[in-house]
Structure 1
Amino acid sequence: MTTPDDRRYTDQHEWALVQGTEGAATVVRVGITDHAQDALGDIVFVQLPEVGAEVAPGNPIGEVESTKSVSDVYSPVAGVVSAVNEALTDAPETVNSDPYGAGWLVEVQVTGQDGDPTASLLDAAAYQAVVQGS
């Protein structure tokens, strides 16, 4: 199981990676972790929010359905969905094969916050400790 050091994590198994800024907004890409996709098994469907939807930390933003179960995906940051990974409509299994790359889920524009909007989330080492404790 991989846990890249370049992003932050939630204890609900989402990752967040700052992509840069667009105007006054910071853009954060969101996906599920390698641990989460492994626990879910073969992913067969991904339900994502619409562009323009407002999201809040800890609130559901979509669902990932596998051959085993359906799991909610929670937003790690507050903001407005600026992009969804449309490729997952036809190839949801991409979340299994590349959870930290092509299997990303949404991008969120975070406004009105100075600094890194993901700073309060877990770093890779702390996330690993959560996984090992579960």
Structure 2
Amino acid sequence: MSETPADLKYIETHQWVRVADDGTATVGITDFAQDQLGDIVFIGVPDVGSTVTGAEEAGVAESVKSASDVFSPVTGEVIEVNESLEDEPEKVNEDPYGDGWLFRVRLADAGELDGLMDSVAYAEHVAAEE
């Protein structure tokens, strides 16, 4: 069973978001997603200063097996990207909820979080897919 931390929100396409007290949000792919992809060899993230839209494509994750679009769970301005993934994309496999985060955004609408899945709902979603 994949790990699904309770402090995160999730979307059906297997991305997570963690909101900080300052209204910024960190985005990554879930443990389930990285496991399904296999050994990740490239991560494409949006540019700092660009705007991502909730439930829309924001990047790509490529593995030795396949490539998969990365969707943003939330809408906002990209304020930081995890530059270490350029040289070490395997961090996503090793620590998807920590050092393997993808990008950070300044939320456009915190109310958008209400429509996302909590860890229980996401775990049920994953179980239904397996």
Instruction: Compute the RMSD of aligned alpha carbons.
Output: 1.0
Greater helix proportion: 2
1:19, distance to aligned residue in structure 2 (A): 1.8
Asked if 1:108 is matched to 2:89, the reply is no
1:124, distance to aligned residue in structure 2 (A): 0.4
Separation (CA, whole Å) in 2 of partners of 1:75 and 1:40: 18
1:119, distance to aligned residue in structure 2 (A): 2.4
What one-letter code is carried by the residue in structure 2 that aligns with 1:7?
L
- Name the counterpart of 1:20: 21
Normalised to the residue count of structure 1, the TM-score between the two structures is: 0.92
**Contact 1:19/1:27 (CA < 8 Å) preserved in 2?**
yes
- Matched residue pairs, number? 128
Asked if 1:124 is matched to 2:119, the reply is yes
Q: Deviations over 1:18-74 (max 9, x none)?
A: 0221xxxx2010000000000000000001111011111111110000000000000
- Name the counterpart of 1:133: 128
Could you list the structure 1 runs, at least 4 aligned residues long, displaced by more than 4 angstroms after superposition.
none
- Secondary structure of residue in 1 paired with 2:62: strand
Normalised to the residue count of structure 2, the TM-score between the two structures is: 0.95
- Name the counterpart of 1:7: 8
Identity of aligned residues (%): 47
- Name the counterpart of 2:96: 99
After alignment, is 93-102 or 55-64 more displaced? Answer: 55-64
Q: Deviations over 1:70-108 (max 9, x none)?
A: 000001111110100000001000000000000000001
Separation (CA, whole Å) in 2 of partners of 1:30 and 1:20: 15
- Secondary structure of residue in 1 paired with 2:12: coil
